[in-house]
Structure 1
Amino acid sequence: RTLRGAVVLAVVVGAVSTVLLSVLLMPLWLGAVGYPFTPAFPDLTMPEKLWSILGHVIYALPATVGYALVMRR
């Protein structure tokens, strides 16, 4: 419920969502639907995954900080 905790939570959510969705699930799903350019499993291409983590963290920040601000009141 603190702003520091909200930022930490956003980093955790960003990292976990990247690992679960981008690294593990997406290659399996793309292979299952027959996409011709399916990445290898697990997809650990760098620096693309670092950009993916950053994007997921930026996406999670408003939700976690907003929740922390609302719960402060």
Structure 2
Amino acid sequence: MPTTSSSETRSWFKSSHSGGNATECVEAAHLSNSTAIRDSKATEAGSLLFQPGSWASFVSALQDGRLR
């Protein structure tokens, strides 16, 4: 289960799967023992932190089309 986190100084990058328009932007940051994701339009809302196993399961489900 992901946990929430306040927005900290991290090396954020825009997801390559974000939509081509400015309304669907997801940013990610790889940390030493987790991955953080956030909405680039609402960075003050914080981020979700995923532990490595949870992140791998999430990405796999996206790639397999199990999440829409």
TM-score by length of 1: 0.28
| Greater RCO, 1 or 2 (C-alpha within 8 Å, sep 6+) | 1
Going by fraction, where is helix more abundant, 1 or 2?
A: 1
Going by fraction, where is strand more abundant, 1 or 2?
A: 2
Between Structure 1 and Structure 2, whose CA radius of gyration is higher?
A: 1
